[in-house]
Amino acid sequence: METISPFRKRCIIPVLGLIENSLCENSLVHNVLCMLLQLINACPKLADILLDHGLLYVLFNTLSTLNGMEHGIPQNDYKLLVVDIQQLLVAVTIHSCSSSGAQYFRIIEDLITLLGFMETSKMRRTQGKI
């Protein structure tokens, strides 16, 4: 990662916007989530860049949007995307817990807050899913 220019390191950031806005294309979102999972596991510095640019909020916004699409998405696709998001949240948690620094405590704090919000949501589909 040291030899890669700062611009090239940040080229992945527009993909975050693709996730939230492409839920009508389930296979695209699934493939992007799987790619992000591989990148986070392979390159901790890239994980930091993604987290600094709102990965957590993108994941939770996507999950909220997904839960609002009760009749617009097949149940199998819904379950697949939820599992993808869960795997990414686990990877983010592992990354944050295995790193030191105040920003990682903030990430864990944000995770707890957002998961608590999802758990207490009025949407029946979010309760107990994650």
Q: Would you give the DSSP letter of residue 119?
A: H
Among 27-36, 64-73, 105-114, top mean pLDDT goes to 27-36
Compare 70 and 96 and report the one with higher pLDDT. 96
- pLDDT of the residue at 122: 61
- pLDDT of 97 higher than 60: yes
Instruction: Give the start-to-end residue ranges of the domains of the chain.
Output: 6-120
Contacts of 126 (CB under 8 A, 6+ apart): 63, 64, 67, 118, 119
Helix (H) or strand (E) holding 54: none
Give me 25's structure tokens. 């294309």
Pair 13, 50: CB distance under 8 Å: yes
Section 23-52 average pLDDT: 91
